[in-house]
Amino acid sequence: MAEHEHACEHEHPHGPTGDVGCRLSGSASELVRFSVTAPDDLLRRFDEQIARRGDVANRSEAVRDLIRASIAKEQMRTPDEQVIGSLTMIYDHHTGDLTRRLDEVQHDYTDEIVSTMHVHLDHHNCLEILALKGRGERVYELADRLLGLRGVKHGELTCAATEQSLGL
């Protein structure tokens, strides 16, 4: 019989039988094993971070945390609200026709892009910062399209609903 690691979050009160059943939630998830490939130096740095943090036991737990954080971030999206924010990207402008594609996408969102700043960091890398304002749905769509382009090494959207979060 296959052994299943237990996936629920809260403390398990050990019952009289000593089992660690998750009766409180009634919906214990089965753990699923999947494999991920990553560059070795990236994985080494991730392992070093796990060792430093001390609050996660292993790589699996750290990856689960990342997945939860990603889903939580998604849930904070407010597509129907007016939002304001910034998108930061770092990319190598030599990557294929990346600069052309970045341009093409941005030309579809002229109402949402208030201002852009481009910094040539070194021979290869560019930093681009976009100030954004508009309906959440459009702003998130723009960010997803830009950050999804192959060759964008780092990207982050920082965004808040103007009414909900900022009271503007």
Residues that bind Ni ion (CB under 5 A): 120, 126
At its nearest, how many Å lie between Ni ion and the CB of residue 22? 52
87, β-bridge pairs? 130, 157
Query: Tokens standing for 97?
Result: 């026709």
At its nearest, how many Å lie between Ni ion and the CB of residue 93? 5
Rounded to an integer, what distance in angstroms lies between the CA atom of residue 71 and that of residue 102? 26
Q: Where are the alpha helices (DSSP H) in the chain?
A: 40-53, 59-75, 98-106, 136-147
3-state DSSP call for residue 105? helix
Nearest CB to Ni ion, comparing residues 126 and 132: 126
At its nearest, how many Å lie between Ni ion and the CB of residue 119? 7
Amino acid 58 reads N
Q: Are strands 152-161 and 113-120 parallel, antiparallel or unpaired?
A: unpaired
Residue nearest to Ni ion (CB): 126
| Burial class of residue 33 in the structure, from the number of CB atoms within 10 Å of its CB (0-12 exposed, 13-18 middle, 19+ buried) | exposed
At its nearest, how many Å lie between Ni ion and the CB of residue 130? 14
Nearest CB to Ni ion, comparing residues 12 and 124: 124
Nearest CB to Ni ion, comparing residues 50 and 87: 87
Nearest CB to Ni ion, comparing residues 44 and 120: 120
